[in-house]
Structure 1
C-alpha cells in the first residue's frame, strides 16, 4: 500500500491519496450495476451459473450468503477478460471462526486470442518415407529418413547418407524401400493390447461415457437467507497528513483470554499483546480516517492487517524475533501461478449488513477483516466462462474476557 505521505495530494495540502480504492455501501444507485454488497449474486451469463459446490459452507455443507459481488474487470492487466469476484459466508453461529465458513471465487470469461496468420509459419512435414509414429509404438521398426533431406546432426562434407545405427540388416536404401518390419523372431503384439490396458474396449465393465451430473446453483427460493442489498460506491483513499493524537480509551490494551499457566505465560502474553496491539492500532487508525468504508481494493498491493499474531498475518509479515521470507498465499490450484492480494472486507461491512437486523448480542459476524488473494494469471478457458475458487484469509475478532 502507499505510505501515508503519498506524493499525490489535494491542493490544500491537508490530505494525501493512497493507491487504495475504498468501497462504500449505498442505497442510491451508482454507475456500476454489477457490484453490490448483500443480496443475491448475478452472473456473466444467467444460463451458465457456477456449480452448487461453491455455494456451500465447508463446515456444515449448508448454503452461504453473499457478502460482496464485485465487477473486477482489470483492463490494464487482462484487456480481453471479463471478471467478477464473489465472496460469501455462512451465517450459522456454529460455523463461525472455522476454515471454510467464508469462501470466495472468481468468475471469468477469457477472451479468445486472435492468432496472427503472419506469425503462423507452416510446420515442416515429415518425410513420406517415415512411418507414422503409431507404427513405431505398436509394432514394427521405423524406417530411416529419406535421403532427400539433410540431417542437421550429420557431419558436413559427406555425400553418403548415414547408416542407421539401429539397423542390423540391409543398407539404408534397401530399408527405405521396404515397409516397416516387426523385430525378427519376436511376435508382434496386437494393437488391441494397449487399448485393453486402458480398458477402452474388450472389458466386461463398460466405461462411463458421461460425467456425474453437476448440482446447479440454488434458486433464490432455496438459497440461504440473504443479507440486505446495497449498491457499491468507490472513492480513492484520502488520509490526513498529520494525524491527531490517539484517544487514551482507544489506545488502552484489550484483555484477552490467554493461557498463562506456565511460568513464561505472562511474558508470552505481554509479547503477544504488544505485537497484536501495535498491528491492531495501525488498523484502527487507518480505518478511522474513513470509517464508513466496507471494502479496500488494491490489486497487487498489501493488506491492512487486523492482527499481527495469527496464521494469516504470518503469510504477509515475518513473525517477531524470526528471520526469513514471508510464506505468501497458496498458489492457484487451477494453473499453479502465484496469488496476489486483490481486496479485503473491513468491519464497516458488518455494520451495514447487520444494523437493521434483530439479533442477540452474541450473534452476528465476528471477523476483523476478510482478505482475498487471486490468481495473477486470471486463469480460465479461452472463450468460456469458468469459475475458480480463490484464497480467503480471515482474521477473526478476539473475544474480550468477561469479568
Structure 2
C-alpha cells in the first residue's frame, strides 16, 4: 500500500488462498472474519455494535497501510448488516479502527511473512489468538461468552450464540466433542471474502480541460434560460430567477457526478481509492463534509483523508434484496494526521458516508 502522501492507488478484488488472508500475512481484504493485527486492545463487543439498531457489526474490510512511524499498520471497517440502518446519511452503522505495531513486537516475526501456507488438509480457521483470547465462532470478533454446556466455543453476543446453536452447535454440543474437527458452517452473517490488491492509478485520459467542461455547462445554461420569463413544471409556475437557480443546481450536480464517472472510467472495477492526505472523489455535491464535520483525533490532532470505499464493492457483497439493502455512494475514511501511537490499542477513526445524489438528504 502507498506510503507517500497523496500518491493515488486503486484497490481491486481477487480470489486467493485462505491462508494468504491470515493475520501473519498482513493482508488487505474484504469480508470473512477480521485478520486482527495487534492482539492487545482488540475492540470489545460493545464497541462493535450498530449505533442505530444495536446489533453486532459485521467485518467489512481492512487495509494494510504502513506509514512513517508505523512498520505495521491496518485500518479496519465494520458495518451493520441491517439494510434499514443504511437509509440514514450519517454513518452510525459503521465503525473504523486503526491499529499499528513496530517491526519488533510480541506477535510477529521480525522478518517477512511466511511464503507458504499450512499443510494440505489442515484447518485454516482459528478462533483463538496467540495471547489466549477467544474469538466469536460466527464473526471472528472477541468472544467473551462461552457455551455453558461444553465450554469449548465462544461468542460475542447472545445473537451470535443463538445463530450458531440453531444452525450447528445444537447438533454437536457435548463435553466430549473436539471443536477442531468441526467444520465451520456459513451462518450467512459474513460478507464474501476477497483479497484487495492495489496498483497506481493510471492518469492517462484525465488531461481533459475542466475549463472546457465548464464552458459547455455555461452554454447549456444559456440555452435553457433563454426560453423566457415563465415556465410551468408540474403545474407550478417558475419565474426567470427560480428557473435559473434550478438550472444551476442541476448543472452542479451533473458536474460532480460526471467527474466521478470520468475518474473511474478507465478502471470501473475499482473498489477502493487510497490517497493519504489527498482528497476524496465525491459522487454528489450534496452532503460533502466541511472541515468542522471531521472530528479531531482523541490525541487532539486533526484527521485527514486516507482512503475511500467505492460503490462498486456492493456488487461483490451479495447484499441485494427486495426490501431494504445496504447501500452507499462513497465511504470516506479520515485518520489521525499525526498517526498518533495506537500501540496496545485499536484507535477509533472517522468515516463519512455519502449517498448517491438521489438519496442524499
Range of TM-score over shorter length = 0.5 to 0.7
Aligned pairs (5 A) from 1:1-400? 19-29=7-17, 33-46=26-39, 48-74=41-67, 77-79=68-70, 81-98=71-88, 99=90, 100-109=92-101, 217-218=142-143, 219=155, 221-222=160-161, 225-241=189-205, 268-310=245-287, 313-315=288-290, 327=292, 329-332=294-297, 334-354=298-318, 359-360=321-322, 362-380=323-341, 384-399=343-358
Q: Which position in structure 1 is the counterpart of 2:169? A: none
State the SS of the aligned residue for 2:74: strand
User: Is the contact between residue 260 and residue 269 of structure 1 (CA under 8 Å) also seen in structure 2?
Assistant: no
The alpha carbon displacement at 1:71 in A equals 1.2
The alpha carbon displacement at 1:23 in A equals 0.7
Distance 1:365 1:261 in 2: 36
The alpha carbon displacement at 1:398 in A equals 3.8
Higher helix share: 2
User: Is the contact between residue 306 and residue 334 of structure 2 (CA under 8 Å) also seen in structure 1?
Assistant: yes
Relative to 1, partners in 2 of residues 1:265 and 1:95: Cα closer, same or farther, differing over 3 Å? Answer: farther
Distance 2:206 2:65 in 1: 33
The alpha carbon displacement at 1:297 in A equals 0.5
Matched residues, number: 249
Relative to 1, partners in 2 of residues 1:54 and 1:267: Cα closer, same or farther, differing over 3 Å? Answer: farther
User: Is the contact between residue 345 and residue 369 of structure 1 (CA under 8 Å) also seen in structure 2?
Assistant: yes
Deviations 1:252-293 (A, max 9, x none): xxxxxxx99896875554333222211111011111210111
Deviations 1:100-119 (A, max 9, x none): 0122111233689xxxxxxx
Q: Which sections of structure 2, spanning at least 5 residues, go unmatched? A: 1-5, 105-135, 144-154, 164-187, 209-216, 218-233
Deviations 1:347-402 (A, max 9, x none): 12111212xx6632x44322111000000122236xx42111111111112448xx
Distance 1:262 1:391 in 2: 44
State the SS of the aligned residue for 1:304: coil
Rg larger in structure: 1
Under a length normalisation based on structure 1, what TM-score does the superposition of the two structures give?
Answer: 0.54
RMSD: 3.5
